[in-house]
Amino acid sequence: MSETEAVLFANEAFYRAFAERDAALMEEVWARDTPVTCIHPGWGPLAGRRAVIESWTAILRNPGAPRIRCRSPAATIIGTAAFVVCFEEIDGQFLIATNCFAREGGVWRMVHHQAGPTSAAPGRPDRPTGTMH
């Protein structure tokens, strides 16, 4: 597996945890030794593993939490850091997200997630799709 594929796999694991409401998998996705942050749509910034994991646990346990699907992920790797820009589809509407990863023990782990509104949608010709280099 290439490094780009490994980053996209880590990104996919994050969205699988979200879609399946799997708190244990969500906790596994996030870095343990590297500082982490998260900005949920409409929230202020969260810093530190405990705050971030508690936020995801609350979201995943909420029966009204949205169903989500990752669309058009594009990965960029810079040494031992990487980021993925993608769309989050929720009930036919889209958010744009940036997911940042760092290598810990040879595994790509999430260190930052931020999602927010966008007027764009996956597959529009005015934005790049696929893997960025």
8 A C-beta contact, residue 76 and residue 101:
no
Q: Where are the domains of the chain?
A: 3-117
How confident is the model at residue 127, as a pLDDT? 38
> Which residue, 88, 99, 91, 75, is CA-closest to 122?
88
Give the count of beta carbons closer than 10 Å to the beta carbon of residue 38.
23
How confident is the model at residue 124, as a pLDDT? 53
How confident is the model at residue 112, as a pLDDT? 98
8 A C-beta contact, residue 53 and residue 30:
yes
pTM for this prediction: 0.89
Among 3.10.450.50, 3.40.640.10, 3.30.110.60, 1.10.287.3510, what is the CATH number of 3-117?
3.10.450.50
In tens digits, what is the pLDDT along the chain, a chain of 133 residues? 899 999 999 999 999 999 999 999 999 999 999 999 999 999 999 999 999 999 999 999 999 888 899 999 999 999 999 999 999 999 889 999 999 999 999 999 999 999 999 998 897 544 334 443 3
The structure tokens listed for 7 are 């980053």
